[in-house]
Structure 1
Amino acid sequence: MEKLQEAITLVEMGHVREGMKLIEMLTKEADHQTLYDIARVYENWGHLEEAMKIVAQLRAFYPEDGDLGIFAAELLIEMEKEDEALEMLGQISAYDDSYVQSLLLQADLYFMQGLHEVAEQKLLKAKQTKPDEPVLAFALGELYLERGDFIKSAAFFKEAEPIASTLPEGDLYLRLAEALSRGGKFEEALDYYKKGLESKKELHSLFGYGLTAYKTGEYKTAISALEELKGLDPEYTTLYPLLASSYEEEGALDEAIEAIREGISKDEFNEDLKVRAARLMYRTGNKEEGEKYAREVIALNPSNAEAVLHLSSMLKKEERFADMVELLTHVAEQGDETPEMIWDLAFAYKEAEEYEQAREQYEAAFPSFTNHEVFLEEYGMFLIEEGEPVKAAGILKQALSLNPNLYHVEEIISRLEEY
């Protein structure tokens, strides 16, 4: 061991040739334990082929040694020979002390290959072998979290809590918090986020904490978490829409607008941010800038229904019906219209006194709104104005069947049936 340490020191001090020559000499005369140590040194230095030669030499003496099998498999993985590594791991006996470790490595490899069910089987077999081993519970928690089985994931992470102190600070609690949050258990998740973030400021987890706090209505907590995240990484653009929404919920509209503007400055093509900007600007009376943002989104992506419907609604409130028609017909020409847009276009044509076009749009929208009392009432009233009382009465009766409390509609139907 002294000679080996001398060789390591020589290499670390820059005398690489002398150090490597000494290790080569040691390899020829070393006992098996020293050979094993030399193999580990080679591995640490990235000399994987040399390490593998020594491990193969040792396995010739100890073919049933599971630890050597694990070592060989790890080297094969580093050499990107995953299939050979799996074959090596599969040879380790179920009675060997390294068997559970071999199953863990196999699970990792199968998961990386996208064979999640096989990975799960390997981990469950390991858990069956050592049912009280928290490391296995943690591994299962990770697998289920990655796979989207959040309730299972949370259960296994909780089982792994006894080893929380042996993991990187906060890791277990932050993973458990994510599993709980994504599984819909927001209140419980908040406690674990707090616990994990006390020792580890992880960007993804700070965002998860902010999102979870938002979903529980703790908007001040959400703002605090997201502002901290912004301070650590202003380029984490996903935070800005949520931060703006949190400020908006608190009634802090100026701060919400500032968050949106910051976000757009970081990601000028972010449609969600610009739609939110359009809504906030309109809400605060800055209609021109709100319209500008909405039109920017539509110019980039006419299929963004949220932007189109928001702008259509703005134009409707301002009674700019010709602009509504222009907007909605342009979107329709792109083939991106939705039933709501067809309804809006029918209304715009009606108000613009283009009645034939309005009729076509109402008829086109009708199949999508047979259970929508507001649409049915509007369509029915339009038909009355167009001199079609029988058809109007039928449409209005549909609205009344959906809501028997529409007494004014009931009166209109009675009058229509008198004629």
Structure 2
Amino acid sequence: MSYSEQLLDAIENHDFSQSKILLKQALDNDTPEVLASLAENLTNYGFTDLSKEVYRALIAKFPRENLFKVYLGEILLNDGQEDDGLSLLYNVSKDSDAYVESLLVQADYYQSNGFFEAARDKLLEALELAPEEDAIKFGLAELYFAAGRYESALDIYQDLIKRQKNFGEVNLIQRLFQTEAKIGNYEEAANIINEHSSDILDIDSKYQAGLVMLSVGDDDKAIEYLDDVINQSPDYVNAYPLLAQAYEHKHDNDQVLRSAQAGLAYNELDETLYSMGAMAAANLKEFDTAEDLLKKGLDIAPDNTNLRLQLSNLYLHEGKFAESIKLYDADNEEELEPQAHWNLAVAYQNLDNSEQAKSEFLLAYPEFQSNPEFLKQMTYFFNTQPNSQDIVKQLLDKYLKLVPDDEDMIDLYNRII
């Protein structure tokens, strides 16, 4: 057994006491081929300090073997020794067999650090030297995709997929339909999914497929993919809001509620699921469930105005007017949204607090002056207030322009003029 093999065995057995000794013996006795393999394995195991020693020894013995310089340069870059790493890579000559490999390592470094143009230039230079090399094309496509240049990425993915469906761990089918979706070609993305459904196997691809199908209105297919995601991994929390949305489109309130409750079991911080679940529960007339969901949501996110409005609406529906008002007790009136003022107006009106109701109606009026339902409510309220004939007439004028055939309001108008 070579010293290199002994060193790797010791590392695999978590015995690091002889590492330095075995490494020196390997460098002194093992063949260059064995040492090259040792360096690669040490890098894969994460022992880069040891692999750097091996590569330096190999470079000293074979100064013209530039591939060792590329491998060492890559390790140095990953370890934060950027100047030394780049210096090694830049010194690989263009006529070297390792030059293209050097360009790829440089491109990866520049991309990782956000230098898109520099990375692209390195990849384009590499592609010019090795135009048939799919690894370079794939790297360029991934770079374009990450930088949001989806049209450029699409052309390359379409070419790559003619020869393979996966590149390394990347599912090219997923990349292709995802890129089409990023461009806005949702129908084309859906067609790709339907044509290659048997190739969409990994969980992330299924999630993305569900999202695309939801975007094109194919709720049944979206549900199919999202169910697969959840069955495969119940804690895939991003799938639950989409699944609830698909069932919402089908007006299946029972399944919306089930999806929301299931998702909240894994992620109690999802404010969207509290809202969707409560809405579905209210539609099912399960008002206690709706109230419980909204209260829990507000405990998690007390500043969520949507949840608070939903709970306020629910309280008004149930005749819990004081509870609806209490939701806004601590808020500055100037910070309240117009719908909150409308809800407060209705609550105060039902509690016979006319002065507060009048104030809230007037605060809500600028936003809802073209809303027939609001104008009708406000008209009926002010018609019960003393000295309000002029404002009632103005409200009726606005309302009847919007709903000219409302006989009750026409009759009221005729009685006050």
Q: TM-score, normalised by structure 1?
A: 0.78
Partner residue in 2 for 1:342: 341
CA 1:315 to 1:162, structure 2 compared with 1: closer, same or farther past 3 Å? Answer: same
Q: Does 1:278 align with 2:278?
A: yes
Partner residue in 2 for 1:356: 355
Once the two structures are TM-superposed, the CA of residue 207 in structure 1 deviates from its matched residue by 1.7
Partner residue in 2 for 1:314: 314
Once the two structures are TM-superposed, the CA of residue 20 in structure 1 deviates from its matched residue by 8.8
Q: Does 1:221 align with 2:217?
A: no
Once the two structures are TM-superposed, the CA of residue 290 in structure 1 deviates from its matched residue by 1.5
Once the two structures are TM-superposed, the CA of residue 340 in structure 1 deviates from its matched residue by 1.8
- Counterpart Cα distance in 1 of 2:129 and 2:379: 71
Once the two structures are TM-superposed, the CA of residue 209 in structure 1 deviates from its matched residue by 1.8
Q: Could you tell which deviates more after superposition, 271-280 or 163-172?
A: 163-172
Within 5 Å, give how 1:324-339 maps onto structure 2: 324-327=324-327, 329-330=328-329, 332=331, 337-339=336-338
- Counterpart Cα distance in 2 of 1:380 and 1:93: 85
**Equivalent AA in structure 1 for residue 110 of structure 2:** Y
Within 5 Å, give how 1:222-301 maps onto structure 2: 222-250=222-250, 252-301=252-301
- Counterpart Cα distance in 1 of 2:319 and 2:136: 64
CA 1:114 to 1:416, structure 2 compared with 1: closer, same or farther past 3 Å? Answer: farther
Q: Which whole-Å deviations, capped at 9, do the CAs of 1:288-338 have from their partners, x for residues lacking one? A: 2222222222233232222222222223334443333233x2363598732
- Select 2:404's aligned residue among 395, 404, 407: 407
**Equivalent AA in structure 2 for residue 332 of structure 1:** D
- Counterpart Cα distance in 1 of 2:153 and 2:218: 25
- Counterpart Cα distance in 2 of 1:44 and 1:303: 48
- Counterpart Cα distance in 2 of 1:25 and 1:252: 71
CA 1:29 to 1:290, structure 2 compared with 1: closer, same or farther past 3 Å? Answer: closer
- Counterpart Cα distance in 1 of 2:237 and 2:265: 10
Q: Could you tell me whether the CA contact under 8 Å between 2:3 and 2:25 is conserved in 1?
A: no
Aligned residue for 1:237, secondary structure, equals: coil
Aligned residue for 1:332, secondary structure, equals: coil
- Counterpart Cα distance in 2 of 1:356 and 1:10: 89
**Equivalent AA in structure 1 for residue 208 of structure 2:** G
Partner residue in 1 for 2:138: 138
- Counterpart Cα distance in 1 of 2:237 and 2:202: 16
| Equivalent residue pairs, number | 411
Q: Which whole-Å deviations, capped at 9, do the CAs of 1:318-376 have from their partners, x for residues lacking one? A: 4443333233x236359873222122222332343322212322332344446656545
Partner residue in 2 for 1:187: 187
Once the two structures are TM-superposed, the CA of residue 189 in structure 1 deviates from its matched residue by 2.3
**Equivalent AA in structure 2 for residue 76 of structure 1:** L
- Counterpart Cα distance in 2 of 1:43 and 1:415: 86
Partner residue in 1 for 2:105: 105
Q: TM-score, normalised by structure 2?
A: 0.78
Aligned residue for 2:108, secondary structure, equals: helix
**Equivalent AA in structure 1 for residue 349 of structure 2:** K
- Counterpart Cα distance in 2 of 1:74 and 1:165: 28
CA 1:75 to 1:292, structure 2 compared with 1: closer, same or farther past 3 Å? Answer: closer
- Counterpart Cα distance in 2 of 1:25 and 1:372: 87
**Equivalent AA in structure 2 for residue 363 of structure 1:** L
Q: Could you tell which deviates more after superposition, 26-35 or 359-368?
A: 26-35
CA 1:66 to 1:161, structure 2 compared with 1: closer, same or farther past 3 Å? Answer: farther
Once the two structures are TM-superposed, the CA of residue 80 in structure 1 deviates from its matched residue by 4.0
CA 1:187 to 1:396, structure 2 compared with 1: closer, same or farther past 3 Å? Answer: same
Aligned residue for 2:331, secondary structure, equals: helix
- Counterpart Cα distance in 2 of 1:382 and 1:124: 72
Q: Could you tell me whether the CA contact under 8 Å between 1:9 and 1:19 is conserved in 2?
A: no
Once the two structures are TM-superposed, the CA of residue 49 in structure 1 deviates from its matched residue by 4.0
Once the two structures are TM-superposed, the CA of residue 244 in structure 1 deviates from its matched residue by 3.1
- Counterpart Cα distance in 2 of 1:414 and 1:137: 75
Alpha-carbon RMSD: 4.2
Any gaps of 5 or more consecutive residues in structure 1? none
Partner residue in 2 for 1:70: 70
Q: Could you tell me whether the CA contact under 8 Å between 1:134 and 1:161 is conserved in 2?
A: no
Q: Could you tell which deviates more after superposition, 222-231 or 247-256?
A: 247-256
Q: Could you tell me whether the CA contact under 8 Å between 2:341 and 2:360 is conserved in 1?
A: yes
Once the two structures are TM-superposed, the CA of residue 385 in structure 1 deviates from its matched residue by 4.8
- Counterpart Cα distance in 2 of 1:156 and 1:143: 11
Q: Which whole-Å deviations, capped at 9, do the CAs of 1:15-46 have from their partners, x for residues lacking one? A: 99999978756644777667655644554565
Once the two structures are TM-superposed, the CA of residue 278 in structure 1 deviates from its matched residue by 1.4
Once the two structures are TM-superposed, the CA of residue 271 in structure 1 deviates from its matched residue by 2.8
- Counterpart Cα distance in 1 of 2:379 and 2:149: 49
Partner residue in 2 for 1:201: 201
Partner residue in 2 for 1:55: 55
Q: Could you tell me whether the CA contact under 8 Å between 1:173 and 1:195 is conserved in 2?
A: no
CA 1:191 to 1:416, structure 2 compared with 1: closer, same or farther past 3 Å? Answer: same
Once the two structures are TM-superposed, the CA of residue 252 in structure 1 deviates from its matched residue by 4.5
Q: Could you tell me whether the CA contact under 8 Å between 1:170 and 1:197 is conserved in 2?
A: no
